[in-house]
Amino acid sequence: MPQKMKISAPRGTRDLLPEEAPAWERVEAVVRDLSARYAFERIETPIFERIDLFARGLGESSDAVEKEMFRVAGAKGSEEEGSEWALRPEPTAGIVRAYIEHGMHVRPSPLRLWMMGPMFRYARPQAGRYRQFTQWDVEVIGDPGPMVDAELIELAHRFYARVGLRGVVAQLNSIGDATCRPRYREALLAYFTPLAGRLSADSQRRLQVNPLRILDDKELDPELAAGAPKSLDYLCDACRAHFDGLRELLDRLELRYAINHRLVRGLDYYTRSTVEFYVTGREGQQDALGGGGRYDGLIEVLGGQPAPAIGFGLGIDRTVIAAQAQGGRAEPEPSVVAVVSASPEAFAGRLRIATALRDAGVPVRVDGLSRKLGRQLESAVKAGARWALILNDAEGERLTLRDLVSGEQRELALDEVPAALST
Ligand code: AMP
């Protein structure tokens, strides 16, 4: 006897079970609807990319690159031995790579793109933090803002409202650009260097490489954080005007936001606006529902013609969990009709009627088991069907529609079925 093996899902991953699927489908439907309504075009990029794309695109000192890469190596002995890819930790680098590779800068600008799919980060799993998770991502390339920055914040608010999440607040910051960031960096360096002994090992290491990252270190002493120089005090005139412009637009749209001076968003090539979304009262760093920012420098860094750009990644897993925690109910499942027959063997008739109903857009379940009518009906109820359509003869010339909730039933013709379901 071969030994029995018990294999479970990899750590930090989840199966989406049928009973959880409706809640996801509802969110996915909102994603598709809003993507279309806001005139985004769909793009899909591979789930893995050359590892140097992420190293350059996100910055060597980002957590995603430094600690959280899911590496994929070329097979030994193959011509790709020594090549390294990584499962994508975020969508922007791949989209910008595609934008450059396909010469998309010649398309009408600004370009508005959306994508939804799995991302991978090799971090220690905990509540709401997985190694595989799904993001809805929107990117606008070729628009310097601040209007588009406000538009995307409004879009995110609309998304959360549509999926039934209440009390979402945007946190906002501006981290300046190549003109003013160096001065801010110097100020942080001057502030944190004498305090290095009170910083975590990670932050001590980052002090020289990327002192902005110290601010989003979860272990940073709140007292040190409160006294640290604030990027908003170091903005150059152009960045200041951009930020003030964004705030004014958000006020005009009556969108709630809070300034968070520690919001630096880890990745090196972010410029100006940085944004994260939280449910009020759950502003812990692990609970961001979504986030994004402007990355005016990234396209050039990856070898393209410079273009201002902004992108948001909204986490679907945490959104579904948060909506459920608030008691948000998944939209009712579509009412399924179980096609059953008085004669246990009426397979051809069952299949023909099921097919005709599906042609008419009705969700149908049908099976090929040879069971008495009573058992077929029982099984339909257990499977959650709302209606049973009973074939009274082998071909289904005579049909009875039974409401499985009330037990009421009536005879009708096949072409009357779809209308009868909506009454
Ligand atoms: P980030 O690029 O880290 O700001 O991620 C954007 C959004 O993706 C976050 O606000 C989360 O909603 C979601 N997200 C990021 N990392 C994870 C993770 N490990 N597990 C689940 N969701 C995540």
Q: What is the mean pLDDT of residues 320-337?
A: 76
pLDDT tens column, 252-291: 999 989 999 999 986 667 899 999 999 988 776 568 999 9
Least confident of 254-268, 368-382, 393-407: 254-268
Higher-pLDDT residue of 31 and 324 is: 31
Which residue's alpha carbon is nearest to atom 9 within ligand 1? 290
Q: Which atom of ligand 1 is nearest to the CA of 292?
A: 4
The most distant pair of C-alpha atoms in the chain lies apart, rounded to whole Å, by 88
- Residue 352 burial (CB < 10 Å; 0-12/13-18/19+)? middle
pLDDT of residue 286: 67
Q: Is the minimum distance from the CB of 121 to ligand 1 under 6 angstroms? A: yes
166 to 105, 158, 159, 243: CA distances (angstroms): 38, 11, 11, 26
Q: Find the 116 Cα to ligand 1 centroid distance in Å.
A: 13
315 CA to middle of ligand 1, Å?
5
For residue 313 and ligand 1, the question of a CB distance below 6 A is answered with yes
Average pLDDT, stretch 412-421? Answer: 95
Q: What is the pLDDT of residue 281?
A: 81
| Distant-in-sequence, close-in-space partners of 36: CB < 8 Å, separation ≥ 6 | none
Q: With helix as H, strand as E and coil as C, how does the chain read? A: CCCCCCCCCCCCCCCCCCCCHHHHHHHHHHHHHHHHHCCCEECCCCCEEEHHHHHHHHCCCCHHHHCCCEEEECCCCCCCCCCEEEECCCCHHHHHHHHHHCCHHHCCCCEEEEEEEEEECCCCCECCECCEEEEEEEEEECCCCCHHHHHHHHHHHHHHHHCCCCCEEEEEEECCCCCCHHHHHHHHHHHHHHHHHHCCHHHHHHHHHCHHHHHHCCCCCHHHHHHCCCHHHHCCHHHHHHHHHHHHHHHHCCCCEEECCCCCCCCCCCEEEEEEEEECCCCCHHHCCEEEEECCCHHHHCCCCCCCEEEEEEEHHHHHHHHHHCCCCCCCCCCCEEEEECCCCCHHHHHHHHHHHHHCCCCEECCCCCCCHHHHHHHHHHCCCCEEEEECCCCCCCEEEEECCCCCEEEECHHHHHHHHCC
Cα of 63 to ligand 1 centre, how many Å?
12
Identify the residue whose tokens are 């160096």.
182
Q: How far is CA 186 from the centre of its chain?
A: 35
- Give residue-wise pLDDT tens across range 344-354: 999 999 999 99
For residue 338, list its beta bridge partners.
365, 388
Percent of the chain with pLDDT over 90: 81
Taking only the tens place, the pLDDT of each residue in 45-84 is 999 999 999 988 887 777 778 789 999 998 899 999 988 9
Residue 162: name the closest of 321, 319, 312, 39 by CA: 319
Contact 279 CB / ligand 1 (< 6 Å): no
Residue 196 pLDDT grade (very low, low, confident, very high; cuts 50, 70, 90): very high
Among 33, 30, 282, 292, smallest CA distance to 151 is for 292
Lowest mean pLDDT among 118-122, 202-206, 347-351: 202-206
In testing the pocket of ligand 1, which one of 119, 131, 134, 273 has its CB within 8 Å of the most ligand atoms? 119
Q: 298, 96 in Cβ contact below 8 A?
A: yes
More confident position, 191 or 202: 191
Counting atoms of ligand 1 from 1, which one is nearest the CA of 125?
Answer: 19
Give the distance (Å) from ligand 1 centre to CA of residue 319: 10
Q: What is the spatial distance between Cα 34 and Cα 11, in angstroms, rounded to a whole number?
A: 33
**Mean of all residue pLDDT scores within the chain:** 92
Task: Say if ligand 1 is within 6 A of residue 133 CB.
Answer: yes
Which residue has a Cα nearest atom 4 of ligand 1? 291
Two tokens, residue 118: 């799995």
User: By alpha-carbon position, which residue is closest to atom 1 of ligand 1?
Assistant: 291
Q: What is the Å distance from ligand 1's center to 133 Cα?
A: 8
User: How far, in Å, are 71, 341, 347 from residue 370 at the CA level?
Assistant: 50, 10, 9
Could you give the CA distance from residue 209 to residue 212 in angstroms, rounded to a whole number?
A: 9
| Ligand 1 neighbourhood includes 216 CB (under 6 angstroms) | no
The mean per-residue pLDDT over the stretch 407-415 comes to 96
pLDDT in the model for residue 266:
65
- Does the predicted model carry a pTM greater than 0.95? no
- Model confidence at 379: pLDDT above 60: yes
pLDDT band at 330 (very low <50, low <70, confident <90, very high): very low
**Residue 185 pLDDT > 70, yes or no?**
yes
Higher pLDDT: 167 or 282? It is 167
Per-residue pLDDT at 66: 77
- Cα–Cα distance, 209 to 268 (Å, whole number): 10
Yes or no: say if 277 and 174 are a contact pair by the CB < 8 Å rule.
Answer: no
How remote is the CA of residue 161 from the centroid of ligand 1, in Å?
19
| The pLDDT value given to residue 423 | 64
Ligand 1 atom 12 nearest Cα: 315
pLDDT at 332 over 90: no
C-alpha 234 – ligand 1 centre gap (Å) = 28
